[in-house]
Structure 1
Amino acid sequence: MGASVADAQFTYRSFRHAPQLYRATPTRVTPRMQPMNQGPTRTMSRTEARPAPSPAQRGRVACGITENGAYAPGTIELRQGGPIVASGDCSQALDLPVGTYDATLTLTTALDRPQRTVRVTVTADGLATARAEFETSILEVRFTADGRPAHGLAIVKKDGRVVGTLGSGVSGRVSSGTYEVVARYRTTDRSYTVPLAPGQRRAIRAAF
């Protein structure tokens, strides 16, 4: 059967007024990044290149010790207003920075080990010499008991301080001056006052 004009008109209107269908297009959503907590902002400082400091200048110090005008061995200690900064014996020079030092020289061959302190200045690449002169004497104590040689002990004091001891018949080198010698034999002591001149050799007889 053929469609009538009225049917055709109805169909056209129905299609015309039908609801339209839309095709949804997916949209990509990019998540928003949260700023990271990086702490306080650091500012890079500019460092200027500086030339390396020149090495400290140095020199040497030697010591010269004489005893009664003749060469004698000894030691040296150097200070700069405080503790010892260098020390050694007088057989070789010491290497030190440039400056002024107090040098203490000790005569090691004497029983009382006398000392002298002198000021010495060290210059760049130079050799400074600290010098000290000592005057000494030789002391010996000989013990006898009932007229015969005996073994005893001699205690040598100066200004109330013990500077050393000597056995019977053993000589010792001491600084020139006046000493108190306590001769001890068994449980008995005898005291002597002994003046000594430079270069003098003196023997004391301690009889018991």
Structure 2
Amino acid sequence: MSSLDPSGCKKRKRVERVFKFKAFGEQGYPIESCGTFRENVKALLEYGNVEMAFVNGMTFWSFQLEVHRHPPSHVLLFVVEESVEASLNRHCKNCIYVGWGDHMICNKKYHFLVPSKDTMATFLSYEGNHSSIVMGKLNFMELNGHTMHGVLHSNGFGHLLCINGLEMGSELAGHLVMEFWNRLCACLQARLYLNFML
């Protein structure tokens, strides 16, 4: 059973915390944001579950978020730490696109992903075939159709790349996902440019 599958969580050594989706990112839930972006993201990741090593040493954390208690409904938030050395593109095409091309290249960027059922199923179907991942045939961050995908550079600048709401088969309405992203950015002290497609 995959460690990414919420039903497989009971196999983990550490007990996974379940956070409320509608409160995640509010002040004090789960962190008090009082420092820089780097300090805040580090504090947030301490609450996540380290999932596995990605290609070229990228790691990712997961957070289980409760959308509804009755009937039970959860989504997963993944945070992928990508170093410049592991990145396919050393320059951020989104920064260049919005006129931030003169900013210094950061040594890390963080992808915040809420996968849809389809993108999660696609990834899990490849997870069992380790050679497909090593050969780079599947990049979880590049899959189309995530419920949400945002990128924040280690300097706190970032981009919201996509939101897919109910109209695109998501379990969440687009405005709820946007509110979630806004709370997360405020909590982490991020500076944002919106260049996403609905």
> Could you say whether these structures have the same fold, taking a TM-score greater than 0.5 normalized by the shorter chain as the test?
no
The TM-score, its normalising length taken from structure 1, stands at 0.20
Q: Which structure ranks higher in relative contact order (CA pairs < 8 Å, sequence separation ≥ 6)?
A: 2
Q: Which has the higher strand share?
A: 1
